[in-house]
Structure 1
């Protein structure tokens, strides 16, 4: 029995055992005792997680995959969550405890998985996973690059991001049309921002929505004072600013009195 990959779920099943093991081994397992795998499919990665000294949970919406996992990994059955990761309140299972996230993520929702991880970052000290290569590269990119953007800044505000390795289409069934990339996120020791976090998210997203413009133009909707707009930082484009400069920019906007 095997599971048929479903296009509408963005399923591409990893067939390469060595790559599955490398992804599982990328987690340090420091300071947490539980791991959640998103979209385990037929369990090629799950198998290596189950060998580790950590309690493995999986979340899967494909009923055929769930049936397969239940029949092939009997000890995992009580920890299979048959829900949509993006819509599910994980504290129904994890009760505010820390856990790592790992997976071979469906490309069509990989950015949303990352955004949800950032929302619950208090509980996620570590995150490893497979994305479309260009998305994985973008998340890990530094300022000054054309691919540096919203995902890069918001992720790196809270996590150290490391691009681990590239995976060719040939090791998947069915093969995707592009290369994949595995990355690892390790939460920073101090991951609270010295500014209003909601405002920080808004400033970053608004800045990059018109990335070719200077910040003076792209942040017009904030109704900034002329005095503030005279600051040289507003003459730059968003891709020129480091994460710490975006934090500084948010503080400036926060303190601006029109």
Structure 2
């Protein structure tokens, strides 16, 4: 069978190590009994270990060559192969509104965008697992005070418990990526509402981390303005990486109330 040639513009790095593929597939068992959506199956190295789990499985693949390969090699997937761009999909239609586990050996060039989309559908995705760049995995799992703690860390940890599971070396891929990879699992926590304006929360997090070396007093001025009385509070002496998710929620509420007063 003619194999699929990895395409650089799609960020394709095909995993060759079957033991690692099995281990990644098994990460979905943390949330059993619900459907699975695999992103970027390529030649099905992960798919082959997801199929025996006897759960409804759909795969989404943009590469037409990979889709043809999957249809030939995995005829049982015939009605469950979605040839589409995951980032453009309406995920509430994928399983008729049912929750599902998201997994995959994610294309490295869009992994952050995939997780932002996951957050948009967090009420449909109780668990997300898979392989990404080690650097991105470390950012997602980072704790306050760490150099890698940032926008992804906070926005994801507000809604998900994050587990950094294991590191994967470049040599087990074709072609080998220039970076190490890692497998993570994100499982929805018990939070149903943040207790603040969620749009403002995202704006505060992104605005402050876009100037992460500055204190909050300076980095938050695009939102509050340079003359806001709230900036005199000692909280604003801190830098964004020093604040926990809970402190960012508190900060968002204080900014919200101040904007109300000044409007």
Q: Retained in 1: the 8 A contact 2:224–2:255?
A: no
Shift of 1:255: 1.3
1:235 to 230, 234, 237: 237
1:1-258, aligned counterparts within 5 Å?
1-28=2-29, 30=31, 33-223=34-224, 226-256=228-258, 257-258=261-262
Q: Deviations over 1:178-201 (max 9, x none)?
A: 110111100112242100111100
Q: State the shift of 1:26 in Å.
A: 1.0
* Preserved contact between residue 106 and residue 131 of structure 2 (Cα < 8 Å): yes
CA contact (8 A) 1:100 1:126 kept: yes
Aligned residues: 258
Distance 1:226 1:174 in 2: 53
What is the DSSP-based 3-state SS (H/G/I as helix, E as strand, rest coil) of the residue aligned with 1:86? helix
Contact 2:214–2:239 (Cα < 8 Å) also in 1: yes
Tell me how far 1:155 sits from its aligned partner: 0.6
TM-score by length of 2: 0.95
Q: CA deviation at 1:99?
A: 0.6
Moved over 6 A (4+): none
Shift of the alpha carbon at 1:232?
1.7
Contact preservation (8 Å) 1:158, 1:192: no
Distance 1:167 1:191 in 2: 34
| Whole-Å separation in 2 of the counterparts to 1:96 and 1:153 | 27
Match of 1:26, SS state, is: helix
> What's the C-alpha RMSD, in Å, of the aligned pairs?
1.2
TM (norm. structure 1) is 0.97
2:44, 2:176 → 1: CA distance? 18
Structure 1 position 32, deviation (Å):
5.2
SS in 1 for 2:52: coil
What is the CA–CA distance in structure 1 between the aligned matches of 2:52 and 2:107, rounded to whole Å?
Answer: 24
Q: Provide the C-alpha distance between the structure 1 equivalents of 2:229 and 2:167, rounded to a whole number of angstroms.
A: 47
C-alpha distance in 2 between matches for 1:190 and 1:203? 19
Give me the whole-angstrom Cα distance separating, in 2, the residues matched to 1:161 and 1:137. Answer: 10
Unaligned runs of 5+ in 1: none
Q: Quick check: 2:106–2:132 contact (8 Å CA) kept in 1?
A: yes
Take 2:31 and 2:136, find their aligned partners in 1: how far apart are those partners? 26
